[in-house]
Amino acid sequence: MPAKKPTPKAKRGAQAANSNAHKHGFYSDRFTRAELLRLTRHIGDDLTSEIALQRILNSRLMKAIPDAAPEHLAGLAVALSTGTGRVARLMQTQRALGGANPQEEELKTILEEILDS
């Protein structure tokens, strides 16, 4: 039987890529300042903030696609598809609960302005 190689002893403290320190601020430590500013526009008791959060994650996935290795493209496509489906379900749930979609009115206004010009 071959002898087992001794595993190197880990250094004291948090190891590289360890996210155990992210214990506070449920989402705050995972988003950039610009993303947090986008999220603060959607804070409320409804699902709007969760929808905005998922859209930010979807945006990150789309930005990662051009630089992704070919072997990662399928996984990114699945993740993006899952994320967009999640947004659709959250919006459907919000409507079913009687919640308004604040972006719907904003989008209507923008489209009206475009059509009027």
Cβ neighbours for 65, distance < 8 A, ≥ 6 positions apart: 73, 76, 80
**pLDDT (0 to 100) of residue 79:** 95
Is the pLDDT score of 12 beyond 60?
Answer: no
Give the model's confidence band at 115: pLDDT under 50 very low, under 70 low, under 90 confident, else very high.
confident
**pLDDT (0 to 100) of residue 63:** 92
**pLDDT (0 to 100) of residue 113:** 76
Does pTM surpass 0.85?
Answer: no
Distances (CA, A) of 111 to 22, 51, 83: 41, 21, 25
Q: pLDDT of 17-43, one tens digit each?
A: 544 433 335 556 677 888 877 777 766
Distances (CA, A) of 30 to 21, 52, 72: 12, 14, 22
**pLDDT (0 to 100) of residue 22:** 38
Give the model's confidence band at 6: pLDDT under 50 very low, under 70 low, under 90 confident, else very high.
low
Averaged pLDDT, 49-68: 90
Q: pLDDT of 67-108, one tens digit each?
A: 999 999 999 999 999 999 999 999 899 888 886 666 667 767
